[in-house]
Amino acid sequence: MTSPATHLSRLARWGVTLARRRALVGIEDDPNAPTQLKRLVKLARWTTFTSKNGTRDYGEAFRAIGPAAIKLGQSLATRPDLVGEEAAENLLSLQDSLPPVPFAEIKASIEASFDQPLETLFAEVDPVPVGAASIAQVHKGTTTEGGSVAIKVLRPGIREKFARDIQTYEWAAAHVEEMGSEAARLRPRLTIANFKRWTNSELDLRREAASASELTEAMAGIGGYRIPAIDWDRTNGRVLTVEWVDGVKISNRDELIARGHDLNAIAEKLVISFLTQAISAGFFHADMHQGNLFVEDDGTIVAIDFGIMGRIDRRARQWLAEILYGLTTGNYKRVAEIHFEAQYVPSYHSVGEFATALRAVGEPMRGKPVKELSVGQMLDGLFAITRDFDMQTQPHLLLLQKTMVMVEGIATQLNPDINMWDTAAPYVRSWIRDELGPEAAVADRIKEDTETLFRLPGLIRRLEEQFPPKGGAPEPPPLPEIRLLTDRKERTGGSRFGYLLALIAGAGAMWGAVSMGWLG
């Protein structure tokens, strides 16, 4: 168990690093921030002799703290309600890159994890990595069978570093949330809990491989989008080996044009593939930044890096689809009703007032291309009204929001005139018709009733276990209730004295009867 002194020491170091880059000034200026927290960040700034005026470099501050902070910063980029719009926008550009680990250490790590020499697994491994991030780095290699592969290897000691830092994040979040009011509404503890869950998945490369496999199944039959094949024989918790992808990075617009690709078609394909994952499958690639998407010669989009995945249950997906469709069609009343049905907004508020607030956010954006107004701006507008309607943060939707912003940004680069709502509306309308229409309602009812019927035999068996049939022996007659001397329930000191007198009297009577020969 880490001591409070250790947590405070770490937080002090990190606070100084953040203060030097003015990354805490936003908290000082936020009228809703807890007073105690504002005093602490002001103290951190004073100790570094840093003025409030000047550039606020949030991304560089988190990068300077270390690998776990880089991942935390990327996560906080989805929380403009928590860190402010300026910080969230700055953190979106936070690149997850660090100096590479020497190849000798990488080779030793691979050999130790498989307990065999590197040469028995790979015919060749390029010692120069093609990418080095905070958690792992990637090398190109050739298997002993001759296949070209990408080999992802965890940085040595990274699991221990993350575990140490996350403990302090949890400790700090608990103390901030205890300050109450706005700090409690934003649920920082739950934010860190989700961050911990995401990073634990990233730190086990077998789970990343499993996520890629699951997404492959979910997207089967969807043309123009695929996931590289996993080499399971060369994959474990610390090493992930996948098919090498030959393609152009989706961010390289000039190269895509030179190869004759239709950028508008690619942008639409990206949007539809994301909606298919999020709304239809309920399982989506939540790290769709430009470095993780490639375009092959035939126009197929290939995704890599499945360490961060999002999952949404069916009911939440239905709500999400209705919200998106309601916003695209201007049906703000239905969008408001869904927020109340999902209990995102407390029931003591007015549905009509919430619908009006939504209209103020959504109406200026309808029918305009992303280059003028964006999904990100709409989300910021939605965050702005959450405080007025006492809406608690919904952490299960944070990854979705982050991914929507990423997809929007890439689609806009490919086609500046794309309208995300117009692109999404036909797909969402079709999904709602299939999932929420009369046929779907009847099918759901038949499915639920059939499952209930199949559960009846098991229910009857459990009832029989609780109430077994009578045996062959006759039932015993009812017996009178006798209060025992050893039963001390509801007994007082006076009652104990009475029992003692009764015992003495009974013993005396017994002795008298024997001496008179009555019991002889």
* pLDDT one-digit tens code per residue, 345-403: 888 888 898 888 888 877 776 666 655 655 556 655 665 676 677 776 665 566 676 77
Length of the chain counted residue by residue: 520
pLDDT tens digits, one per residue of 116-147: 999 999 999 999 999 888 889 999 999 999 99
> Does pLDDT of 103 surpass 80?
yes
What's the pLDDT band for 310 if we cut at 50, 70, 90?
confident
In three-state secondary structure terms, 138 is: strand
DSSP secondary structure string, 73-110?
Answer: HHHHTT-HHHH-HHHHHHHHT-----PPPPHHHHHHHH
Q: Are strands 225-226 and 301-303 parallel, antiparallel or unpaired?
A: parallel
pLDDT of residue 38: 74
**Dihedral of the CA atoms 390, 394, 398, 400 (nearest 10)?**
-110
Q: Compute the mean pLDDT over every residue in the chain, rounded to the nearest whole number.
A: 79
When pLDDT is averaged across residues 102-117 and rounded to a whole number, the result is 93
User: Which residue did the predictor score with more confidence, 186 or 302?
Assistant: 302
CA-closest candidate to residue 38, choices 57, 13, 19:
19
Cα gap 424→63, rounded to integer Å:
35
Residue 77 burial (C-beta neighbours within 10 Å; 0-12, 13-18, 19+): buried
> Position of tokens 């999932």?
435
Q: What does the pLDDT read at residue 382?
A: 63
Residue 505 CB neighbours (<10 A): 10
Cβ neighbours of 425 (radius 10 Å): 16
- Please tell me what DSSP assigns to residue 279: I
For 390-441, how does the pLDDT look when each residue is reduced to its tens digit (9 = 90+)? 776 665 566 676 777 778 778 888 888 777 667 777 777 776 666 655 555 5
Highest mean pLDDT among 89-93, 254-258, 389-393, 442-446: 254-258
Closest C-alpha to 269, from 233, 301, 315, 307? 301
**Most confident listed range (149-153, 278-282, 302-306, 431-435):** 149-153
pLDDT category at 44 given cuts 50, 70, 90 is confident
pLDDT at 380: 59
Short-list 73, 71, 70, CA closest to 82: 73
The alpha-helical segments, DSSP class H, found in 203-330 are 205-218, 253-258, 263-275, 314-329
Per-residue pLDDT for 488 more than 60?
A: no
Q: Using CA atoms, how far apart are residues 379 and 377, in angstroms rounded to an integer?
A: 5
Cβ(263)–Cβ(256) under 8 Å? yes
40-58: burial string, b at 16+ Cβ within 10 Å, e else? bbbebbeeeebeeeeebbb
Number of helical (H) and strand (E) elements in the chain, helices listed first: 22, 11
Residue in this structure with the two tokens 């009228």, named with its chain if needed: 31
CA distance 501 to 499: 6
Q: What is the per-residue pLDDT for 467?
A: 78
pTM: 0.70
Residues 6 or more apart whose Cβ sits within 8 Å of residue 469:
none
Among the residue ranges 133-142, 182-191, 312-321, 495-504, the one predicted with the least confidence is: 495-504
Contacts of the segment 130-133: beta carbons below 8 A, 24+ positions apart? 131/97, 131/291, 132/97, 132/98, 132/99, 132/100, 132/101, 133/96, 133/97, 133/98
- Per-residue model confidence (pLDDT) at position 135: 87
Which residue among the candidates 233, 287, 313, 417 is catalytic per the annotation?
287
Are the C-beta atoms of residues 274 and 288 closer than 8 Å to each other? yes
- Looking at residue 72, what is its pLDDT? 80
Place of tokens 């375009």: 295
List CB contacts of 440: < 8 A, sequence separation 6 or more. Answer: 434
Q: Is 243's pLDDT higher than 80?
A: yes
- 325 contacts 432 by C-beta, under 8 angstroms: yes
Does the annotation mark 57 as catalytic?
Answer: no
Is pLDDT of 46 > 80? yes
